[in-house]
């Protein structure tokens, strides 16, 4: 185009130089415009590529976590079923002494409770995810829930040392079932991630206008850079190979969702000299 317009100019015309300069100026403006447009276009493509890369990566990580989750959950479901089945078969086939019978029954009940907790977690997680869970908040006596969870823990682990300090009649605005799930998730983790011979503590106290629930253990603890991530869905510290305790990575994710839905906060800090302290703050029910 530039060539054509130059050729069209009369070389001996009086305004040849001016016209040529104008054509050249127009040409350099166009060139600058094309470069500018090209750069913007390239930038947009690059930004788009970064977004696509990030989304793909996120999807990849999530699908890997989901795969691990499916493996973990299959194991978690199969183990209690296998144990309960074996216990029941033994009870059916053999004449056992009363004490032995009671032991097998207690063990079967314990496994059934584990199954119950696990299915509750999975159910609540999927309901929270799809928005199908309609929160029905009422006055909940957290002291009663904490005491019940403690009794259940002591039934399941009669030899475990548990320190408890539960202030009576502390009420918050929440949902009964979800609070049970929260307390049992925290207690289960304290048991799972600490040696059998170390104590666990559960306290429920009042601080100003807040009800404070704390579960403390003297176990393996949680590295500083993992403290935030353990509340993510399916997240488990370490690799599959190094993990000895079985789990799904759902418990704390659900716990955090439950606490947030009740306008509370949950956090984890180090216990001294070893272990972790999970602290949950709720607004205290002030009465109608
Ligand atoms: P799960 O226990 O099923 O793996 P959670 O969501 O309950 O899933 O916990 C996520 C991760 O946080 C666990 O896999 C574990 O690595 C870490 N964790 C949770 N509670 C404790 C604890 N009391 N002590 C040490 N690590 C813990």
User: CB within 8 A of 162, min separation 6: which ones?
Assistant: 150, 153, 154, 199, 200, 201, 202
From 160, 202, 230, mutation site for ligand 1 pocket: most ligand atoms within 8 A of C-beta = 230
Residue 283 forms beta bridges with which residues?
210
pLDDT over 80 (residue 228):
yes
How far is Cα 135 from Cα 158, in angstroms, rounded to an integer? 34
How far is Cα 65 from Cα 70, in angstroms, rounded to an integer? 9
Q: Which atom of ligand 1 lies at the shortest distance from residue 190's CA?
A: 23
- Quick one: tokens of 156? 């399941």
CA 162 from chain centre, in angstroms, equals 26
Q: Is the CB of 156 under 6 A from ligand 1?
A: no
Cα of 11 vs centre of ligand 1, distance in Å, is: 85
How far is Cα 160 from Cα 154, in angstroms, rounded to an integer? 7
pLDDT over 60 (residue 288):
no
Q: Is the CB of 73 under 6 A from ligand 1?
A: no
pLDDT tier, 241 (very low <50, low <70, confident <90, very high otherwise): low
Q: Is the CB of 276 under 6 A from ligand 1?
A: yes
Q: Is the CB of 236 under 6 A from ligand 1?
A: yes
Q: Is the CB of 187 under 6 A from ligand 1?
A: no
Residue closest via CA to ligand 1's atom 21 equals 189
How far is Cα 280 from Cα 96, in angstroms, rounded to an integer? 45
pLDDT tier, 285 (very low <50, low <70, confident <90, very high otherwise): confident
From 73, 187, 189, 222, mutation site for ligand 1 pocket: most ligand atoms within 8 A of C-beta = 189
Terminal-residue alpha carbon distance, the chain = 83
Q: Is the CB of 217 under 6 A from ligand 1?
A: yes
CA 121 from chain centre, in angstroms, equals 12
Q: What is the pLDDT, as a whole number, of residue 275?
A: 96
Q: Is the CB of 122 under 6 A from ligand 1?
A: no
From 193, 199, 223, 266, mutation site for ligand 1 pocket: most ligand atoms within 8 A of C-beta = 193
CA angle 155, 158, 164 (to 5 degrees): 80
- Quick one: tokens of 48? 């788009």
Q: Is the CB of 80 under 6 A from ligand 1?
A: no
Find the range with the poorest average confidence among 2-16, 73-87, 128-142, 162-176: 2-16
How far is Cα 276 from Cα 269, in angstroms, rounded to an integer? 6
Tally helices (H) and strands (E) across the chain: 6, 7
Mean pLDDT of the 77-90 span = 90
Q: Which one, of 72, 116, 261, lies nearest residue 174 by Cα?
A: 261
- Count the Cβ atoms, other than its own, within 10 Å of residue 143: 16
pTM over 0.85: no
Q: What is the pLDDT, as a whole number, of residue 73?
A: 73
Query: 1-4 long-range CB contacts below 8 Å, 24 or more apart?
Result: 2/27
Q: What is the dihedral of CA 21, 24, 28, 30, to 10 degrees?
A: 120
Please write the tens of the pLDDT for every residue from 105-143.
988 988 888 788 888 888 887 777 777 677 778 899 999
pLDDT tier, 178 (very low <50, low <70, confident <90, very high otherwise): confident
Q: Is the CB of 248 under 6 A from ligand 1?
A: yes
Q: Is the CB of 252 under 6 A from ligand 1?
A: yes
How far is Cα 257 from Cα 160, in angstroms, rounded to an integer? 29
Q: Is the CB of 231 under 6 A from ligand 1?
A: no
Please write the tens of the pLDDT for every residue from 20-70.
888 888 889 999 999 999 999 999 999 999 999 999 998 888 887 777 777
**Secondary structure class of 25 (helix, strand, coil):** helix
């Amino acid at each position: 185009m530039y060539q054509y317009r130059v050729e069209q100019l009369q070389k001996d015309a009086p305004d040849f130089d001016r016209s040529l300069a104008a054509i050249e100026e127009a040409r350099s403006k166009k060139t600058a415009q094309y470069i500018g447009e090209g750069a913007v276009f390239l930038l947009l493509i690059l930004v788009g590529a970064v977004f696509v890369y990030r989304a793909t990566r996120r999807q990849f990580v999530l699908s890997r976590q989901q795969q691990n989750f499916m493996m973990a959950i299959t194991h978690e479901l199969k183990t209690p079923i296998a144990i309960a089945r074996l216990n029941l078969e033994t009870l059916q086939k053999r004449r056992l002494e009363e004490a032995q019978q009671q032991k097998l029954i207690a063990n079967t009940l314990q496994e059934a409770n584990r199954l119950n907790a696990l299915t509750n977690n999975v159910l609540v997680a999927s309901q929270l995810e799809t928005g199908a869970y309609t929160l029905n908040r009422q006055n909940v006596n957290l002291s009663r829930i904490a005491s019940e969870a403690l009794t259940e823990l002591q039934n399941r682990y009669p030899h475990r040392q548990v320190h408890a300090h539960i202030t009576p009649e502390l009420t918050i605005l929440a949902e009964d079932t979800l609070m049970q799930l929260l307390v049992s998730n925290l207690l289960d983790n304290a048991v799972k991630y600490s040696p059998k011979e170390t104590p666990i503590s559960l306290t429920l106290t009042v601080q100003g206008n807040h009800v404070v629930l704390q579960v403390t253990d003297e176990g393996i603890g949680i590295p500083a850079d993992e403290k935030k991530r353990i509340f993510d869905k399916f997240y488990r510290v370490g690799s599959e190979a190094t993990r000895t305790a079985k789990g799904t990575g759902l418990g704390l994710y659900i716990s955090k969702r439950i606490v947030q839905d009740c306008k509370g906060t949950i956090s984890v800090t180090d216990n001294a000299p070893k272990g972790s302290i999970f602290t949950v703050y709720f607004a205290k029910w002030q009465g109608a």
